[in-house]
Amino acid sequence: MEPLPAADRRADAARSDRRRLAARSGRGGRRRRLDGRRRYGGARGLARPPIRRDPGSAGWIAELGAAVKTRGAALVDAPVSGSLPAAEAGQLLVLLGGDEAAVETVKEALAPLAAAFRHLGPSGRGARFKLALNHLLGAQIALMAEVLAGLANDGFDEKAAAELLAGSPIVSPAAANYGRQMAAGQHEKLFGVDLMAKDLRYALQVGAAKGVSSPIAEAALGVFERASQSGLGAANVSRVRTLYP
C-alpha cells in the first residue's frame, strides 16, 4: 500500500485526535479522576500520551501536574494557537508546559499537526500563555465587530471595509480573518462565544490574583456575555458582529 501524502496524514491525525479529545467540564469531575481509581500517562504504560480537552486554568493545570507526578507519570499541557484548518494543514503553534522528557514525547505525538513548538517551562506555562493569546484575540474580535458596525452605519461597504482593514499594518491576521467572516456573514464555527467568555474570565481572575486590572478584558467579556445571553453561546465568535445594527 502506498503511503498517504503528508497533507492526508495531517488531516487523518487531526480527525483521529479530535475523536480522542474528550470534552469535560467542571473541576469536580477532574478531581475525581485523580483519586486513585484511575491512573494516567506513564503510570498506565501508554505508548502515546492521552489527549484531553478543556484543561481549565493555568493554576489548575499546575495542580493537576503535581497530582499526576505523585502517580509516577508526567503531565504536559499543550494548548495550540490555530484551529482545525491549521491542524489539517500541519500549521499549529503548540505551547508546551512540562518536564523536558515528557515534552519530547508529546512533540512526537503532535508533530503531524504542528509547524512549531515552544516549550515555556513547567506544567501550566503553556496554558498560561494560551490564555494570554485568547485575552488578546477576544479584545481584537470585540473591537473589530464594533469598528465594522460603525463603518457600515456610516455608509461604507462592509466587505470592502473589512478588506481595507485587513491590508492595514495595524490589523493582525487573526483580526483580519474574523473581520472578513463578519462582513461576509459567514460564521463557520472555529471558536465558540462561550469558550471565549470563559477564557476572558480566566484572564481577569489571573490578573486580579496578581493585583493587575484588566479593563479591556472586562469590556470584551461584556460583549461576549451579551452575545451568549442573546442565544449565541454556541456560535462562532464572529457572530458578535450581529449584536450591532
**For residue range 81-114, what is the model confidence (pLDDT) as tens digits?**
988 888 899 999 999 999 999 999 899 899 999 9
Q: In the prediction, which pLDDT does 10 show?
A: 52
Examine the fold and report which residue of 67, 92, 123 is the final residue of a domain before the chain moves on: 123
| Closest C-alpha to 95, from 71, 69, 61, 120 | 120
68, 35 contact by CB (below 8 A):
no
pLDDT band at 12, cuts 50/70/90?
A: low
Average of per-residue pLDDT across 202-217: 94
Q: Which domain holds residue 44?
A: 6-123
pLDDT value, residue 52: 52
The average pLDDT across 45-73 equals: 69
Question: Does the structure show a pLDDT above 70 at 43?
Answer: no
| Predicted structure pTM score | 0.76
| Confidence band for 34, pLDDT divided at 50, 70 and 90 | very low
Residue 81, domain member (yes or no): yes
Q: Do 37 and 109 sit in the same domain of this protein?
A: yes
Same domain, 32 and 69: yes
Compute the average pLDDT of residues 182-202.
94
pLDDT at 153 over 60: yes
Provide the pLDDT confidence category of residue 56 given band limits of 50, 70 and 90.
low
**38 & 55 share domain:** yes
How many structural domains are present in the chain?
Answer: 2
Which domain-ending residue is among 105, 123, 141? 123
Mean pLDDT of the chain: 82
Q: What is the pLDDT of residue 45?
A: 43
Q: Which amino acid is at 245?
A: P
Across the beta sheet with 114-119, the strand order is: 80-81, 92-96, 114-119
Asked, for residue 1, whether it belongs to a domain, the answer is: no
The Cα–Cα gap between 24 and 31 comes to 12
pLDDT of 210:
92
44 and 106 belong to one structural domain: yes
CATH number at residue 91: 3.40.50.720
- 47 is a domain residue: yes
State residue 85's pLDDT score: 84
Measure the CA angle with vertex 178, ends 173 and 180; round to 5°.
95
Domain boundary among 72, 99, 123: 123
Residue 48 in domain: yes
3-state DSSP percent of the chain in helix, strand and coil, to 5 = 60, 10, 30
Amino acid 232: pLDDT: 97
pLDDT at 8: 55
Q: What is the pLDDT of residue 84?
A: 83
Residue 166 lies in a domain: yes
Instruction: Look at the alpha carbons of 7, 8, 13, 16 in this order and tell me if their dihedral is positive or negative.
Output: positive
Asked if residue 99 is part of any domain, the answer here is yes
Q: What are phi and psi of 38, to 5 degrees?
A: -145, 140
